[in-house]
Chain A
Amino acid sequence: MKQDTKHTAPATPWHRDPAVRALVFQALLVLVVAWSLGTIFSNTITNLESRGIHTGFDFLDEVAPFAVGFSPFIEFILGESTYWDVFLIGIQNTMIVSFLGIIAATLLGFIIGIMRLSPNWLVSKIASVYIETFRNIPLLLQIMFWNFAIFLPTLPGPRQSLSLGESLFLNNRGLYLPKPVVENEAGTWVVVISAIAAVIACGVLYRWARRRKDQTGQSFPIFSISLLIIVLLPMTVYFIAGNPIAAELPELKRFNFEGGMQMPLPLFSLWFALTTYTAAFIGETVRGGILAVDHGQTEAANSLGLRRGQVLRLVVIPQALRVIIPPTISQFLNLTKNSSLAVAVAYEELVNIWSGIALNQTGQALVIIAMTIVVYETLSLATSAILNFYNARIQLVER
């Protein structure tokens, strides 16, 4: 036996042994990659040193020598806020526009996707035209279009603002809303707690309604009742507690409205563009997802006597969702990343004020770009984690 092996397969020299070769090549590859990275790193350090550039995180504590205009949740004080604050404001503003964009694009995308499948010729053609238009025009162009061609020329200046009940104003600088101001802290807490209680009550009601439906088959108008509870309960408490929250109205000063809640025009330009653009893609995903559901399902639902809306809501969409969600996650991530085009219309998000203005004024390119990358990476991973969790929950459970 031993001799046999020797004859049929003579001892291969080590450099011909596939296992050894594979190991050697992989080791070499690792070495090359490590060496390349090392070279890039040492190159950068040497070049920075030779030009006298010091890099590090020290500048984060310095006072930012420029102003940031839009920051609804973090207060920016010129002359006191630091670069770190600017960084946080950048993240905040990126998250605001991404959040608004994701919500709006999902709603619009769903509507468009379903419209495109409509048996009504006009409705489906409108959806097709919408998709083909918005999907094929570069996003940057759309952002500029909304801002420079639609909003700025059509909206009036601050002194001729459109107003609704003298408390809500719209002009070519933005939207000005009354801002809730806490006047009586204890009363405010009562209202907040009552609102939370209303939400919990709805949850309980929902579970009860479901159980009843499972047992008796009777359905319960859960949506309208919940809405009623959520609106009525806190409102009643609010009036009983003696109006603990007042409204600060925007006031017209020399140049524009001051006070109140302000949403700058660039936010709308960016939000609209991101929404219309991303909705076109989501619409196609939705259409694909619905078409992926076997037509027999619709026919079966029809033969049970369900209306078209019910067929969609109860039979088709739950099955379509598992096809729709994974590609929609990437659309959400795209939307978040696309918000970095904001600089074209002067919306102050992360890339604009952090890796734009702050980078330029400090010269700390390495640190700032690295921090920006980490933020987008984190936002993307968080978004996909949340949606993957949701996706796992709605997946078909095999019984």
Chain B
Amino acid sequence: MNTNMFIKLIVTAGALLLSITASAGTLEDVKKRGHLVCGVNNGVPGFSAPDDKGRMQGIDADVCYATAAAVLGDASKVEFTPLTAKERFTALSSGEVDVLSRNTTHTLHRDAALGLNFTYYNYIDGQGFMVKKDLGVKRALELDGAAICIQQGTTTELNLADYFRANNMQYKPIGYETAPQTRDGFDKGACDVLTSDKSQLAAHRTELKDPTSAIILPETISKEPLGPVVRQGDDVWFNIVKWVVYAMINAEEAGINSRNVDKLRENSDDPNIKRILGVEGEMGKNLQLSNDWAYNIIKQVGNYGESYSRNVEPLGLARKGSVNALWTRGGVLYAPPIR
């Protein structure tokens, strides 16, 4: 064997290994790549599901579009990676996706032990039960002994166990990997009950063969604050994703939407609006972005209210009077000020 070739081989192998070791910040990676890789759910209408043209739609998908708009100036530069609940954290930790926007519940364990950082909430949910109407079940406490379809790797799985333990009831878990499989199992009779976040139940119900054959029970058994997640240890990127969500909420609060954003950028005298839209101050620079970051989000994706009414409203989940309303309207969505 040729000595030179051998040395070359070693050097190449070494270089390859080193390139794996060296990891720049996520922001630089995204900019260099030219697009954002976003981990989403593989099919929950209203959150992230492809429409008839194959474009990903939903309130979670909008966070991806908004992040791409803020970082790259173009909301369309997103590559979606559909992930199951089980895969999602590994995919995020291993760097397969830049941000995980996949109706993920914020919990202490995930925050502290899995090396994740939760940004803010783009939907506040709670777990419920959907049952076949012909079983005649009216309340969750009547579910003792039921077979329950559930998506694996979710907090839902844990809440369910807690709820049944606390009420001294038994159940048979039928755990599937993806949301569509879970719905399919329920629809085809593999179980009596489907449990999930209530927003997802509403979405699943619309997709049953006969939506009227199932009812959603009134109980809400858990708190499910859902929001985008990033890897721990990259504060610059953490700040960006966090403020992307804040910006969408702040824009709604300030009355900026995709239709009036150009006009307001030209003629608004409100210093708050001027700061948000980057006319005044260096807000974008602080985030290591361009100053029109929030303008791009609002112009190309819209504010939080627009995203909600476009995606979640059609599922029959009214925002008015719910926790997902702005704090000024009786809800709990409260974004820190952009200043």
Shortest beta-carbon distance, A38 to chain B, in Å? Answer: 10
Contact, CB under 8 Å: B152 / A53: no
Contact, CB under 8 Å: A365 / B90: yes
Q: Is A389 an interface residue when CB atoms closer than 8 A count as contact?
A: no
Q: Is A36 an interface residue when CB atoms closer than 8 A count as contact?
A: yes
Q: How far is the CA of A68 from the CA of B171 in the complex (A)?
A: 9
Q: How far is the CA of A264 from the CA of B6 in the complex (A)?
A: 57
Contact, CB under 8 Å: A65 / B158: yes
Contact, CB under 8 Å: B153 / A52: no
Contact, CB under 8 Å: B113 / A36: no
Contact, CB under 8 Å: A360 / B153: yes
Q: Is B173 an interface residue when CB atoms closer than 8 A count as contact?
A: yes
Number of B positions contacting A (CB below 8 A)? 53
Q: How far is the CA of A256 from the CA of B170 in the complex (A)?
A: 12
Q: Is A356 an interface residue when CB atoms closer than 8 A count as contact?
A: yes
Q: List 5 A-B pairs, minimum CB-CB distance, nearest first.
A: A51-B115, A360-B153, A363-B114, A152-B188, A69-B172
In the bound complex, residues from chain B placing their C-beta under 8 Å from that of A66 are: 157-158, 160-161, 173
In the bound complex, residues from chain A placing their C-beta under 8 Å from that of B173 are: 66-69
Shortest beta-carbon distance, A178 to chain B, in Å? Answer: 19
Most chain B beta-carbon contacts within 10 A, residue among A25, A157, A255: A255
In the bound complex, residues from chain B placing their C-beta under 8 Å from that of A266 are: 174
Contact, CB under 8 Å: B162 / A65: yes
Number of A positions contacting B (CB below 8 A)? 48
For residue B90, which residue of chain A has the nearest CB?
Answer: A365
Chain B 169-205 near chain A by CB (<8 Å), digits 1 or 0: 0111111110001001100111010000000000000
Question: Could you list some 13 contacts between A and B, CB below 8 A?
Answer: A25-B6, A39-B21, A50-B233, A51-B233, A52-B115, A65-B161, A67-B171, A254-B142, A264-B172, A356-B153, A357-B153, A363-B114, A363-B115
Q: Is A48 an interface residue when CB atoms closer than 8 A count as contact?
A: yes
Q: Is B86 an interface residue when CB atoms closer than 8 A count as contact?
A: yes
**Given A52-B112, A343-B177, A357-B152, A363 and B89 touching (CB < 8 A)?**
yes
Shortest beta-carbon distance, B144 to chain A, in Å? Answer: 8
In the bound complex, residues from chain A placing their C-beta under 8 Å from that of B146 are: 254-255
Q: Is B63 an interface residue when CB atoms closer than 8 A count as contact?
A: no
Contact, CB under 8 Å: B153 / A361: yes
Q: Is A43 an interface residue when CB atoms closer than 8 A count as contact?
A: yes
Q: Is A7 an interface residue when CB atoms closer than 8 A count as contact?
A: no
In the bound complex, residues from chain A placing their C-beta under 8 Å from that of B185 are: 346
Given contacts A43-B21, A53-B93, A65-B158, 7 further A-B contacts (CB under 8 A): A51-B116, A78-B165, A172-B190, A255-B145, A256-B147, A360-B85, A363-B114
In the bound complex, residues from chain B placing their C-beta under 8 Å from that of A253 are: 145
Q: Is A213 an interface residue when CB atoms closer than 8 A count as contact?
A: no
Interface residues, chain A, CB within 8 Å of chain B? 25, 28, 32, 36, 39, 43, 48, 50-54, 65-69, 78-79, 147-148, 152-153, 157, 172-173, 253-256, 258, 264-266, 343-344, 346, 348, 352-353, 356-357, 359-363, 365
Contact, CB under 8 Å: B93 / A157: no
In the bound complex, residues from chain A placing their C-beta under 8 Å from that of B147 are: 69, 173, 255-256
Contact, CB under 8 Å: A356 / B115: no
For residue A28, which residue of chain B has the nearest CB?
Answer: B10
Chain B 123-148 near chain A by CB (<8 Å), digits 1 or 0: 00000000000010000001011110
For residue B114, which residue of chain A has the nearest CB?
Answer: A363
In the bound complex, residues from chain B placing their C-beta under 8 Å from that of A152 are: 188-190
Q: How far is the CA of A81 from the CA of B286 in the complex (A)?
A: 50
Q: How far is the CA of A264 from the CA of B41 in the complex (A)?
A: 29
Option from A67, A79, A172 in Cβ contact (under 8 Å) with B189: A172
In the bound complex, residues from chain B placing their C-beta under 8 Å from that of A256 are: 145, 147, 172, 192
Q: How far is the CA of A254 from the CA of B135 in the complex (A)?
A: 9
Contact, CB under 8 Å: A360 / B145: no
Contact, CB under 8 Å: B175 / A346: yes
Q: Is B232 an interface residue when CB atoms closer than 8 A count as contact?
A: yes
Chain B 1-31 near chain A by CB (<8 Å), digits 1 or 0: 1000010001001100100110000000000
Contact, CB under 8 Å: B175 / A357: yes
Q: How far is the CA of A255 from the CA of B172 in the complex (A)?
A: 11
In the bound complex, residues from chain B placing their C-beta under 8 Å from that of A353 are: 175
Q: How far is the CA of A265 from the CA of B172 in the complex (A)?
A: 12
Contact, CB under 8 Å: B86 / A359: yes
For residue B113, which residue of chain A has the nearest CB?
Answer: A363
In the bound complex, residues from chain B placing their C-beta under 8 Å from that of A51 are: 93, 115-116, 231-233
**Given A148-B184, A344-B181, A357-B153, A254 and B233 touching (CB < 8 A)?**
no
Contact, CB under 8 Å: B157 / A357: yes
Q: How far is the CA of A255 from the CA of B148 in the complex (A)?
A: 11
Shortest beta-carbon distance, A175 to chain B, in Å? Answer: 14
Contact, CB under 8 Å: B86 / A357: yes
In the bound complex, residues from chain A placing their C-beta under 8 Å from that of B112 are: 52
Shortest beta-carbon distance, B58 to chain A, in Å? Answer: 22
Chain B 72-115 near chain A by CB (<8 Å), digits 1 or 0: 00000000000001100110010000000000000001101111
In the bound complex, residues from chain A placing their C-beta under 8 Å from that of B189 are: 152, 157, 172
Q: Is B334 an interface residue when CB atoms closer than 8 A count as contact?
A: no
Most chain B beta-carbon contacts within 10 A, residue among A68, A79, A254: A254
Contact, CB under 8 Å: B158 / A39: no
For residue B164, which residue of chain A has the nearest CB?
Answer: A78
Contact, CB under 8 Å: B152 / A32: no
Q: How far is the CA of A65 from the CA of B107 in the complex (A)?
A: 14
For residue A364, which residue of chain B has the nearest CB?
Answer: B113
Contact, CB under 8 Å: A32 / B13: yes
Contact, CB under 8 Å: A67 / B192: no
Q: How far is the CA of A329 from the CA of B265 in the complex (A)?
A: 72
Q: How far is the CA of A175 from the CA of B157 in the complex (A)?
A: 25
**Given A48-B115, A356-B86, A360-B89, A344 and B188 touching (CB < 8 A)?**
no
In the bound complex, residues from chain B placing their C-beta under 8 Å from that of A48 are: 115
Contact, CB under 8 Å: A53 / B162: no
Contact, CB under 8 Å: A361 / B231: no
For residue B115, which residue of chain A has the nearest CB?
Answer: A51
Shortest beta-carbon distance, A218 to chain B, in Å? Answer: 57
**Given A67-B173, A265-B190, A53 and B114 touching (CB < 8 A)?**
yes
Most chain A beta-carbon contacts within 10 A, residue among B114, B135, B190: B190
Q: How far is the CA of A157 from the CA of B188 in the complex (A)?
A: 10
For residue B193, which residue of chain A has the nearest CB?
Answer: A255
In the bound complex, residues from chain B placing their C-beta under 8 Å from that of A69 are: 147, 172-174
For residue B158, which residue of chain A has the nearest CB?
Answer: A65
- Which residues of B, 233-285, contact A by the 8 Å Cβ criterion? 233
Shortest beta-carbon distance, B235 to chain A, in Å? Answer: 12
In the bound complex, residues from chain A placing their C-beta under 8 Å from that of B110 are: 363
In the bound complex, residues from chain A placing their C-beta under 8 Å from that of B153 are: 356-357, 360-361
Q: How far is the CA of A254 from the CA of B142 in the complex (A)?
A: 9
Contact, CB under 8 Å: B13 / A36: yes
